[in-house]
């Protein structure tokens, strides 16, 4: 009967093998299998003491057939893609002193956690820390499979030793041999609605104004589904075929290298609702996503060295509606279209610079407004600067959902006051303005040359206001 050298590492080129022996009592609960007795071997071994734990052994006189079988067993390594090549796991599979116990940490522990999640549905966060939760999952795994060394144990323990590594590796090999079904991310809430193709987006091309730390090679199709929620709103996603995957919300990297927090994911079934990293332990597995601020992010579902999928998260503010209140009527002496400092009260300390007697035949848009212009709707021309002082967010003029987005050529009146005039504002005004649209600017005088260059129309009114801003009223053809 050939000797199964399950306590050896790979043999050397000279036929020498190394044995890691356990120098303690067999019932000390340090591992799955006690150190084997050399006297019980069928073959003769020459032993040279090397250290208190490692001994050098040379195969003695026996048949070539038995020697080949023994060396074949000796050279056996972990076979699963998840485990193989990890030195600590390889050692734990053959050496009692290298067993993995509670209190250990590192990549080898994380791989064990991933295996327990995929094979046993363990509710673990694969953080690489062998804490009480991981110990309990190991114990549950061993109890289900009756992994007990009957030579000295009466019940399973929570240690990952040779028998446990063998079982984990064997099951992972079997699991990895089955072609993985694609991970699916399904929107449960809010219910997705059909979208009309956007002419401005060039068909199905996704245009993002941010940089993401995503490797596109993981997602070669690039045809991502989408969930749309509001800031401080919630959505629900169902992850199918994703056991062992990690769910993350990939937020964009802003222009200064930091992260803009657009959204986050969490598991509603876990106490404390750990944010932005969820381990998939069930099939299907429901996770929640929360909108934090307007913008675009990605939900990523990915198994280490395995299947992956992504979903776009659109966080958009809803339409705010028309600002209620009495429209301004008082103008500075000799002026017609711009309100004076003592005009009707508004939200905010500055009453001047608001449109008076707007045309009112179409939509009335206040770019960057904060409820100070009754009869107008407050909007932002980009997503990054849509926050208002009261903690809410302005809707986006360019939103492809309409409402809240503003359709091209539908505005009869547009105003902007006290805000820098950037190209994004110029572009939004030009697109929204309908025939005879009246545009009222109350801005720093340094922006007036840019405005006149972009909109070379004869001014209806231009003057310096009481607060030092420059008022300029234009009318589109």
- Mean pLDDT (the chain, rounded): 79
Q: Which residues of 88-124 are buried (b: 16+ CB within 10 A; e: fewer)?
A: bbbbbbbbbbbbbbbebeeebbbbbbbbbbbbbbbbb
At residue 256, the pLDDT reads 55
What is the maximum alpha-carbon separation in the chain?
A: 117
Burial track 280-303 (b if 16+ CB lie within 10 A, e otherwise): bbeeebbbbbbbbbbbbbbbbbbb
- Angle of the 107-120 helix axis to the 132-144 helix axis, nearest 10: 50
Query: Which SS3 state, helix, strand or coil, does residue 311 take?
Result: strand
Band of pLDDT at residue 223, cut at 50, 70 and 90:
low
N-term to C-term CA, the chain:
99
Three-class DSSP category at 147:
coil
Look up residue 223 and give its two tokens. Answer: 């045809």
In whole angstroms, what is the distance from residue 4 CA to residue 2 CA?
6
The fraction of the chain above a pLDDT of 70, given in percent, is 75
- Angstrom distance (rounded) from CA 54 to CA 425: 74
Domains of the chain with CATH codes: 16-177 (1.10.101.10), 184-195+206-315 (2.60.40), 363-475 (3.40.50.150)
3-state secondary structure of 170: helix
Q: Give pLDDT tens digits for 132-191.
A: 999 999 999 999 999 998 888 899 999 999 999 999 999 999 988 877 788 999 999 997
User: Under a CB-based contact definition with an 8 Å cutoff, are residues 277 and 365 in contact?
Assistant: no
Rounded to an integer, what is the distance from CA 319 to the centroid of its chain?
27
Task: Output the pLDDT for position 332.
Answer: 92
Q: What are the phi and psi torsion angles at 253 (to 5°)? A: -90, 125
Distance in angstroms (rounded) separating the CA atoms of residues 95 and 7: 6
Instruction: Calculate the alpha carbon distances from 421 to 230, 438, 445, 459 in Å.
Output: 27, 17, 11, 17
Q: Do you find a cis peptide bond into 456, omega within 30 degrees of 0?
A: no
pTM: 0.67
Angle between helix 162-177 and 107-120 (nearest 10): 60
In tens, the pLDDT along 5-57 reads 333 333 333 333 333 333 333 333 444 444 343 333 333 233 233 233 333 33
């Amino acid at each position: 009967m050939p000797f199964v050298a399950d306590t050896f590492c790979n043999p050397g080129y000279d036929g020498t093998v190394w044995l890691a022996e356990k120098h303690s009592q067999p019932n000390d609960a340090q591992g799955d299998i006690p150190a084997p007795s050399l006297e019980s071997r069928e073959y003769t071994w020459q032993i040279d003491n090397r250290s208190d734990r490692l001994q050098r052994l040379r195969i003695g006189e026996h048949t070539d057939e038995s020697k080949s079988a023994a060396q074949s067993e000796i050279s056996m390594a972990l076979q699963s893609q998840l485990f193989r090549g990890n030195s600590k796991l390889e050692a734990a599979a053959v050496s009692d002193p290298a067993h993995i116990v509670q209190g250990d940490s590192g990549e080898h522990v994380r791989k064990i956690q991933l295996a327990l999640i995929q094979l046993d549905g363990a509710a673990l966060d694969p953080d690489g820390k062998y804490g009480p939760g991981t110990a309990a999952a190991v114990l549950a795994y061993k109890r289900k499979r009756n992994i007990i060394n009957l030579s000295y144990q009466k019940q399973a323990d929570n240690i990952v030793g040779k028998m446990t590594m063998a079982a984990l590796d064997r099951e992972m090999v079997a699991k990895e041999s089955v072609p993985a079904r694609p991970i699916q991310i399904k929107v449960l809430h809010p219910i997705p609605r059909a979208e009309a193709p956007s002419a401005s987006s060039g068909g199905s091309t996704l245009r993002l104004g941010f940089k993401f730390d995503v490797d596109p090679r993981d997602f070669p199709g690039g045809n991502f589904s989408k969930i749309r929620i509001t800031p401080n709103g919630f959505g629900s996603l169902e992850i199918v075929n994703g056991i062992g995957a990690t769910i993350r919300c990939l937020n964009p990297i802003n222009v200064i290298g930091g992260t803009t927090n657009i959204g986050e994911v969490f598991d509603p079934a876990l106490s404390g609702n750990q944010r932005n990293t969820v381990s998939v332990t069930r099939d299907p597995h429901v996770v929640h996503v929360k909108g934090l601020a307007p913008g675009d992010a990605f939900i990523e579902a990915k198994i280490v060295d395995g299947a992956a999928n992504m979903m776009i998260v659109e966080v958009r503010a809803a339409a705010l509606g028309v600002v209620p209140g009495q429209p301004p009527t008082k103008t500075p002496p000799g002026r017609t279209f711009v309100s004076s400092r003592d005009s009707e009260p508004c939200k905010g300390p500055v009453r001047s610079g608001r449109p008076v007697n707007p045309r009112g035949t179409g939509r009335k848009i206040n770019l960057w407004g904060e409820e100070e212009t009754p009869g107008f709707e407050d909007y932002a021309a980009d997503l990054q600067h849509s926050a208002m002082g009261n903690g809410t967010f302005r809707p986006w003029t360019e939103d492809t959902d309409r409402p809240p987005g503003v359709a091209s050529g539908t505005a009869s009146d547009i105003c902007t006051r006290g805000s820098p005039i950037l190209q994004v504002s110029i572009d939004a005004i030009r697109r929204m303005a309908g025939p005879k649209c009246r545009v009222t600017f109350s801005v720093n005088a340094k922006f007036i040359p840019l405005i006149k260059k972009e909109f070379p129309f004869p001014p209806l009114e231009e003057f310096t206001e009481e607060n030092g801003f420059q008022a300029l009223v234009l009318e589109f053809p």
